[in-house]
Structure formats: C-alpha cells, structure tokens
Structure 1
Amino acid sequence: MATAYGPDTRDQYRPGDGAGSRPPAGRTKHFLPAALRAPVEARAWGELGYLLLSLPISVVLFTFAITMMSLGLGLLITFLGIPVLAAALAGCRGFGALERARARGLLGLEVADPEPARGRTGGLMSWVGAMLKSGASWRHLLYAVLHFPWATFAFTVAVTFWATGWTAFTYPLWHWVFPAFGENGGIQLYGDGTHQVYLDSPFEVAVTSALGLAVVMATPWIVRGLTWVDRLMVLGLLGPSRLATRVSELESDRGVVVDTAAADLRRIERDLHDGAQARLVALAMDLGLAKEKLADDPDAAARMVDEAHGEVKVALQELRDLARGIHPAVLTDRGLDAALSAVASRCTVPVKVEVDLEARPAQAIEGIAYFTVSELLQNVSKHARATRASVDVWRAADRLMLQVTDNGRGGADASSGSGLAGLTERLDAVDGILVVDSPVGGPTTVTAELPWRG
C-alpha cells in the first residue's frame, strides 16, 4: 500500500442484497447455481435494460403529465380546460400501453389492457366525459407522477452497483493506467489534505477484484428487487382494476350458467322424447290394440295388457331416473351423505364415502356438489379402469371441499376439452375451483372447492 500527497478523494463500495423474482417460464438444466450464473443471464440484462430505459421514459411521461394537467386545470375557467384534461389522460393511457409492452418484452410480465373509455353516443363530448370518468385513466396519471421519482432512484442504484462492480472486478486489467498516466500507484482508497492511500500492491489489486466480483454477483438480485417495484406499479396502476376484472368474470360466468342451463333443458327434453314419451306412446297403442282384441281374443288381449304393464314399470323407472338427474329427492330430504351414498352404490367399482359435515350448505351449493361427485364417479366407471374409489366431503372455514380418488390408469386432463373442462366451468361460475392430479398410471385425485354459503 503506497501513500502520496494530493487532493482529498474517496471511493466507497456498498454491496447490497436484492429481492428475488418469479422463476422463468421455461426451465433448463444448469450446472451452475443461480447465484453464479445470474450476472450473465438474459433475464438479468433485460431487467437492467428496463431500469435504464425507465429514466428517460419517465422524464418524458412526467413532463407531459404535469404540463398537460397544469394547462388543463388553469383553463378550467374556460371551456377548453375540460378537453385538455381529457387529452392529458388519453396521452397517459398511450404511455401506459408503451409501458405494458416494455414490461412484457423486458420483464416477461403479462398485463391485460384496462377497460377502454368509450362514450355512450360516440361523439367528442361523450368521449371526453368517458375519459374523465374512467378510473383507469386516472390510475395512468398517478403512474406518470409516481414512476418518475422511483425511476430516478432505481436508475441511480442500478447504474452505481453495475458500474462499481464491473470496474472493481476488472481492476487487474486496467490498474496500470494509474502509474502510467495518473502519477500515482492506483485507485485512491483514502485521502485528506496531506495524506492519501492507494491500492497498488498485487494483494490489494486482487482483493479489489474479489470485492468487485462480489458486487457483480449481487447486482442482478438488487436489480431484480428494484424491478419488483416496477412490476407492482405496472400491475396495480396500468392494468384493469379488480372491480372491472370481477365484472368481466361475472359476465363470462353468467354466460356459462345460461349455456349450461340451456344444455340441461335440451338434455331433459331429449330424454323425455326418446325415453318415457316414446314408451308411453307405445303403451297407448298397445292398450288400444288390447281393447280391440278384448271381445274376440281375450287371451291375446290379456298378454298385451301384461306387456303394457311391464312398459309402464320401465317408463316409471326412466321418469324416476330423469327426476333424480334433475334434483334427487334424497338430497333434499337427507342431505349429501345419503345422496352421495346412493350415487356410490350405482358405481361399477366399490366406493368408500366419508362425509364430515355438521350442517348443510346452501341448497344450490349442495346440488352442485352432488352433481360434481356424480359426474366424477361416472368418469371412474367409464374411463378409469379402477378397482376402488373413495369420496371425501368436509368443510374448511367457509369452503365446501370434495375429493374423489381412484386407483385407475390416470391421465385425466381438465384442459383437453373433456367433461372435466365443462365441470371446471360450472364450478367457476359459483367461485369454485377444480384441481385434477392424475399422472399417467394413476392414481387420480380430483379436488373440488365450493363456497359454503350456508
């Protein structure tokens, strides 16, 4: 360590810790741990690029937002202030689209577009009113104001750590410039009016490079922690509001419920037309023929009446099955335990049923739970090739939990457009969830979660 005399300067190194982020969508086998390969990964450079671009973009966005809003507020004493404010909000929404695209490209963050601001009549004033009433527009303005100071801070921190780390890490490659051109031994570590300390010995150069490497390794995680704040701001301020998202989900669910009800009505009509109605028509014809033969051939008439009696029994059984498919009486009278036990008794494999409920949920939820288990047990009978199955029902806080397990061949997939996909849509219409765990070779476990609503 050499000393010299000269002006007072000081270098500081501040390694820090960053926050983690979600794992990338595609996973590849790596031989190095994440901490060692992070500085050279494309994700780290993309996040750094995002922070570097944030400062100039936020300066332009902040300047535009403040200028336009100040102009609009100043002109409110005239009619021109209102359209100027609407134009300011529209411009912020345009910048918001750019920010969502930038987050998608550099951070891998998918953010849906917010609800559009559309006027009822389609005219200019209608558009101005819709823009001023839109909560999404004001959230974009808030993003423009808040993102500028944060982008400045994040840019400063990211550039400082990145430049300091790589500068110190590569110090052995360029420290020769100090004695050659700077008239000192190396980087000045300490100095006052009369005394300075330089890093110029081989040991000091190596330690400086090691510290720089540590900062280089820590910088991607610091940058990742900074971009997490950007992710939260983009998601919270530039995406659709929770209320708008919920309204969209409810509209979609309403369509699913209407389609399901229409499909059920068509099924009931088809079953009546092709089943009980056809048998009753044939029964009426047989009884008419028996009436005609009653005087001439009483024995034949008796045989025909006996056959008609059998048809009546079959028709009654079909009507009972149809009524049970609409809403079984045992479910109304005795609840899920008895109703699911009756369903399990008709399954082609032995089924163990356990229902642990101290009270009954709402009738609509109880009916959905019944038909969910019924359809899952039908899948076990038709497709699973299982030798046994089980049904468990219990309550967890304000949720009704159902679980159907079998030891069949597995391979069930709710995303392949099968009956499980339709079942998922039905449950989603009432804020329910369906989770399928069915590896090839089995076993299969299907868990359904419904709101209690007792």
Structure 2
Amino acid sequence: MDDTSAPPAPGRTRSAPRRARVTPASLASVVIGGMLLLTWFWISLTLLLTGIGSLPALGSGFLLLVPWVVAMRAAVIVERRRAVAVHGLEVIVPARRRSARTGFAGWLHGMWLDVCSGWFWKGVLHHHLAMLVAGVFALLSLVALFVSWVAVDVAVRHGALTLGTVELPRWGLAGIGAAALVVSLLMLVLGALSDRGLARAMISGSEEDLRGQVAELAVRRQGAVDAAAQERLRIERDLHDGVQPRLVALGMTLGMARQSIRTDPDRAEELVTRAHSETKAVITDLRQLARGIHPAVLTDRGLDAALSALAARSAVPVDLQVDLPRPLDREREAVAYFVVAEALTNITKHAGARRASVTLAQTEDSLRVRIEDDGRGGARVHRDGRSTGLAGLTDRVRATGGLLEVASPEGGGTVLLAVVPLPDAAPPRSPATPARVAVPAPEEATR
C-alpha cells in the first residue's frame, strides 16, 4: 500500500433558510463564549505553546500537541455547525484530504494532512477569535449589568445618593440602572452581530472552497465515467467469451437435429435433448450477467439479503456482519454490493484463502465496507486491461465521492476498505441489531 494521500473528501453545502437576525440562541452563544474565554481559551493556548516549546526535549511536546490537534478538529466542526444553527449561515465545507493508510498509522497520517491544510488553521484562528470577541462583549455586558444592579440596589435601600456636591435622587439612580441594563443587552446584541460577521468572513465559504468542490466533482465525474467504461467492457467480454459461443453452438446443434429428423430420429432426439440442456445453461449465464448489472434481490429484499446470498454462494467460508441502522439509497447499496461481490470473487479465484470476513458499518456520514481474507496477499490495482477488477471498484467508489483502500502485503492476506459518503438527508429508522452470519463453504465447491 502506498503512502500517497487519497483524493479529498467531498465538500458539502449546508444552508439554513432562516433570515439573519439576533435570536436568544445567538445571545446565549455570546455568554457561553465569554465563559470559554475565561477557561478553554487559556487552556488551548497553554497546550499549544507548551507543546511547541517541548518539542526539542526528545519530541515530548507531541504528547500535548496531538490532544490539542484532536480538540481543534472537533472545535472546527462545532463552529461550523454553530454558524448554521445559531446564525443561519450557509457553510461550504472545504475538501478534506484523507489518508490512504489504515489503522493507527492512517489516523496519524490523516491528522498530519489536516494540520498541513489551510482550512484547519483558519478554523482554529476563527475558534479563538470567536471566543475573544464574545468574551469582550460578554465582559462589557456583565460590567453594565453590575452597574445596573448596584444603581437599583442603592435606590431601593438608601434612596438618594450624594457624590461630592452632586445629589442623585432615587429616580435618577433608577434611570441609571435602566440605562445600564439597556447597555448590557446592547453589548450582547453587538457581540452576537460581531460573532456572526466573524463566522461569515472566516468559515461560511470562499471562492477557494468552491474551486475545491469543483475539482472534487470533476474527480467524481471521471470516476463515474471510468466505472461505466469498465462495466461496459466487462459486459462485452462476458457476452463475447461466454454467451455468444454457447448460442452459436446451440444454433449448430439445432441445425444438425433438423437435418437428422427424417433420416435418423434417434440422433435428432439426442441433439434436441442436448440443445435443451444448453438452452438452460445459457439462460443461467444470462441470469448471472443480469445479476452483475443490478441484482434483483438487491431491489426486492435489500442489501442485507443480497450480501447473505453472496456469502452463501462463496466457495470460501464468509463471516458476514451488517450494521445498517438507516436505509441506504439505491446507488450506495449497489456500490456496497459490487464491492463485496468483486472482492469475494477475487478471494475465490486468486487469494487461496481459508476464510474471509465482510463487515458493513454505517456511521453518521459514511458507509464503511471492509473485506478481509487470510490468503496469499499481493493484490494490486492494475489498469493494464487484464486484471481490472480492483480498478473498476476504485472507479465505482470514487464516483460516489469515496475512496477504496487496498492493503495486501505478500503472504499477509488482503484487506479491502471502501469508505462511501452518505447523503445528508437519509431517512432514519429504528436501530437494528447487527446481523452476523457465518456461512460455511459448500463441500462440492472447488477453489
């Protein structure tokens, strides 16, 4: 498996239909920002500066920088969602580069790709500026509120107040209290408007983000074109090498039977019987070809049943685990099905494996399909016109905006991981218990 980074994840545009206005949620956001300024703002700066300062000490600063980066990644996501939910802004999520590695190394590599990206540091800067701006206005609002409370308290408890040669009557103190209260609310409103303007300027999207989206859409379009071309070549190859010769042979058999009907009825009957058997075989081939285009069981009974049928037909024992709490659209069901089908075909033909496992897990924003075997390994993505199975899967997954990872060291088995992003509007359903099916290989199957 190479160390090159995978294509960027697709940017998605999320918008809120509400008009821009000051709401109780935006005022409360200013108050929360003030509280974060007194706590998390200084903790974050301390972690960053201490981690950088400790790097010369045998790299011990990474023990502080790694948690800080993890926290900042979460903070950037929270700030985007807050801009949509609180301020009603349209946020364009920039394209994010994903690591093509797996495991802990892939996690670290993905974190490094985030740290090297401009959107990460722009989001970090916005996060801290938002806390600073909200904290200043929240502090001014608190001071004005304190002045209002003191003025009203003095007016109620002591009446008129004498300051040097100036005497403030009770109504004057009440007016000062009311004015200070208005100033306190005004500071919160100004804080909310400043926070909204800061979010609009720094995270709502830019021409660069749109260009990233266009580039990603071009990659996905090319993946769809390549996948369609690979599928067309596969169908042509199956028809030319499989069905067509059998139909030609069937026609020749029927021709010989017609010639033998009067001269040799027994021979004609034998030929017709052979033609009948060949017809059933051709029908089976056509059914398999149609299943390769889009299996009927996928439409009739869903992805879980279709994968169970694949596992049952596999010559290698398959451990199948499916966890799909929400239904998938037809495109992603088809992608997951064909990834599993092609992977199991490759395992049967080339891997020499004793067992295989298939795991489908659905997260909030993606579908992860993992196929693993204990075979000889050495699988690679080829585009030489001969071994194009994995290349076709790569293009099919890329067309959805996802990525396909192949880890196949020599003698170490093969791990195939397809990450397919999900659309935002997926209809929910009640969580289902993950299905776990262990399917033994048929005894008569050959490897």
Structure-2-length-normalised TM-score:
0.47
Based on CA coordinates, which of the two structures has the bigger radius of gyration? 1
